[in-house]
Amino acid sequence: MSKQTIWSYLIHLGYNMWLESTQRDGNLADGYAEDYCCASDKLRFDRDLFLELLPRMQAAGINTLLIDLGEGLQYESHPEISCTDAVSKAEFASLLAKVREHGIAPIPKLNFSACHDEWMGPYARKVSTPEYYKACADLIAEVYELFDSPEYFHLGMDEETFDHQKLYAYKLVRDTDLWWADLNFYTKQVTDRGARPWLWADRVWNHPNEFLARMPKDFLLSNWYYGIAFSRSLNYIEAYHQLDDAGFEQVPTGGNWRCQWNFEGTVNYCEQHLTPSLLLGFMQTVWRPTLNAVKYRHFEAVHEVAKNRRPLRSE
């Protein structure tokens, strides 16, 4: 009997991922660029929507919920990074209990990419310093305990390039040995506590030889693509094959960020082309905050999982 396939959904408690609005794209609906891409000192999380989504996720067959915490939690170790009305740890623990009551495993996510770490407040401009390392270690320890020894811990680390930060007022990109040294630091905090590190894999797009040679095989990797044309001529798609050929276990990621049909294409393509034993499941993303104003986006994303969830070839 193979291990249960991961059918996962990424949701946000905190949403401070950008220093300023970098995603000004007229093709995106619901005021996404203007309303959500800039950092805020206010919590952008509707508890009633979160609770309303759980039975829908359960009915759709989603069994794993990645929760990007960001500034949305009242951290005890570093309260200075929490937004003004952040969720208390006691309340969040009750939300985690609700997740588990619906048969869904909650997984923590803290994104330590220098492109998406505005949630870290003052530490976002102290990357790779002793003060920064202490804060990262403290936060990982606190979150791991709060999630009651989760099987996985997602560390983010996507899009750390100058191109992705070209509209930022403050740009920071770690490269070569420093990027790997910091990743190894986060990894040790996670693995020493018993969790398996989960990571965005898009660094392989621009640094394939380095990534494939230096990335440990015990990482769970999520390459991502949100378009509708699935062709190996696209480096986003070729990355799935590169990771597969190198023997990495993957959870490919799609979403309805740009189009409704991407998750269907992701499941169909990856099931057809990737090694069954290395394809551990899929992740659906919406890239909208957990707010009632964009409720329909979440409903649509969960519906796409329900429509495309099925036993994979490895089951």
* Integer Cα distance of 22 and 27 in angstroms: 14
Average pLDDT, whole number, for the chain?
A: 94
pLDDT digits (tens, 9 = 90+) for 102-138: 999 999 999 999 999 999 999 999 999 999 999 999 9
pLDDT digits (tens, 9 = 90+) for 299-312: 999 999 999 999 99
292: pLDDT strictly greater than 80: yes
Domain boundaries, the chain: 6-308
- State the pTM of this model: 0.96
* Integer Cα distance of 256 and 263 in angstroms: 7
User: Are the C-beta atoms of 144 and 193 separated by less than 8 Å?
Assistant: yes
Contacts of 140 (CB under 8 A, 6+ apart): 110, 153, 186, 189, 190, 193
pLDDT digits (tens, 9 = 90+) for 224-281: 999 999 999 999 999 999 999 999 999 999 999 889 999 999 999 999 999 999 999 9
Q: Does domain 6-308 have CATH number 3.90.650.10?
A: no
